[in-house]
Amino acid sequence: MQINIKDIHNKLIFPSLEQRTFQMQNKNSRIKMKRSGLILLVCLLINTISTSHASELNWVAQWLGEEMREQLVREVAKEFVFLYPDVELNIEFARTLPNEGKNHKWKSAYKIVEMVNSGDITADVVFLDVIIYAHVAELLNDPHWGEKHLIDVSDLPWFRKSQKDFILSSPYYREQTGGIFIGPYIEGFFTCLWQNQEVARQIGIAIKDRNMTLDDFLSYAKQLSDYNKKNNTSIPFIKLCSWNRLEILFEYLFKSLCHDPNFAIDEKYDKEKERLFLETLLVFEKLSTYQPMVNPDFADLKIDNWIREYLDGDGLFIVAGSYMYSHFLGTYPEKYSNAIPVEPPIIKYSNGLVGDFIPTFAVMKKSPNKDAALNLLKLWSEPKFADKWVAYTKNPTGLRGNLQTPASETGDDVYNSYVLDMTSNYSHLPMRYYRALTYIFGDKNPVTANELRANLAQILLGKMTARQYYDDVMDRFRDQ
């Protein structure tokens, strides 16, 4: 129903004949009516003005098309709108941002850089994890850009109360985002191998999903290679795509050669690490003797097609993280259960997991609606949403929840069990995921993550030897 302010004004200021007769009989009553009318008019005007100028909150969200993750985003948004009805919440998912051909993390980075350069803040809350932070740092040529353009939530009471102790106490987490805390550590993940159960059954391999040794892993490669030769098939041992994460397997194997878990993750060069670098590369060379080790078309294979081909049976393993549960379920719900998480092989020592806890959303410092933006981050930090994250995504979180252990609304399953077992077995050990080789060469590391991924693939394909790559890297390291 529309309210016409002019009609209301006329009725209150110019009463009818009956009203005037009554007012002449009772002067005091007339005065009271005028006062009441003016008060009502003012109230109506204020209400109309505030409604037409409701504050707006623009949020670049994550997890579009990732099944229960996307559902959680929408549940948080629904509760936010209920709690703050005077705020108009506008959601745009990172995957729908401009810059066609770029992945959603680069799209988010370009969006942030555009706002920084123009000063026009079109998104108050941005999708920003450690990868996107690094992309923006590269584009702006400023590793500490966050101090200038993001709100540091370090000292906000709700933030300190809601994050787990190790997030607050270890400098590792804030150092990934320029030395500040940019938002709640909603997402956690353990990297792992995923095995295709149907392919394993087809070949007749019983794969250890816990406590796998390197000898076990090599025996699986040999059995698959023999099967391919016998049946004239070409099922790859590791299915890769353009989103190649072979550095995860490398980091696990390297860590398991180290005598001390803290030595393994210390970002300082040591002569012993140089030797272990070559030893780990030689494992990849040994794997290359069992072909086809990887699919040769991986560089041009997009992630959605990769998921479908893998779940359809083209590959025994993939190297990724526990986050793939949501990708499998969102992309190919009919066959997501073909893949189950498997603990990567250990050579000598169980030195903990390769994984991370990361922030997901941040607030631009020049946001015109900072209070509402911070309220959204505060809502994400509530224990009930921490519990929902674990239950919905089958992944850990850096947030404090009400539950002591992960739980699923559908009961216990292999995905929950994996998170529970890894947490129980390794939570006392430091967990890192460096991607690049800073844990070997320190601040003089000559190898980017993308270079390492590409060359590990070349070794597995049999197109490069371990010694060739080792010599190339060491020459560059020593020439600095």
Q: H-helix or E-strand containing 161?
A: helix 157-162
Spatial separation of the C-alpha atoms in residues 426 and 210, rounded to whole Å: 13
Between CA 479 and CA 269, with CA 451 as vertex, the angle to 5 degrees is 45
- Burial, 52: exposed, middle or buried (Cβ in 10 Å; 0-12, 13-18, 19+)? exposed
- Paired with 321 in beta bridges are 191
Predicted model pTM: 0.85
CATH of 55-186+359-411, one of 2.60.40.10, 3.40.50.2000, 3.40.190.10, 1.10.10.60: 3.40.190.10
> Which of 124, 125, 92, 128 is closest to 110 using CA atoms?
128
pLDDT given for residue 41 in this prediction: 41
Spatial separation of the C-alpha atoms in residues 74 and 69, rounded to whole Å: 9
Q: What is the pLDDT of residues 265-297, one digit of tens each?
A: 999 999 999 999 999 999 999 999 999 999 999
φ, ψ dihedrals at 90, nearest 5°:
-115, 125
Q: What is the pLDDT of residues 37-84, one digit of tens each?
A: 444 443 434 444 333 346 999 999 999 999 999 999 999 999 999 999
The arrangement of secondary structure in 190-352+433-478, i.e. its CATH architecture, is 3-Layer(aba) Sandwich (3.40)
Spatial separation of the C-alpha atoms in residues 428 and 110, rounded to whole Å: 38
Residues 246-265 have a mean pLDDT of: 97
Maximum alpha-carbon separation in the chain: 111
Q: What stretches of 170-268 show up as alpha helix (H) in DSSP?
A: 171-175, 197-203, 214-231, 246-255, 261-265
Are 348 and 256 contacting, i.e. CB atoms less than 8 angstroms apart?
Answer: yes
Q: Is the pLDDT of residue 442 over 50?
A: yes
In the numeric block, the tokens 């860590």 are attached to 255
In the numeric block, the tokens 């009441």 are attached to 36
Tokens of 320: 């990724």
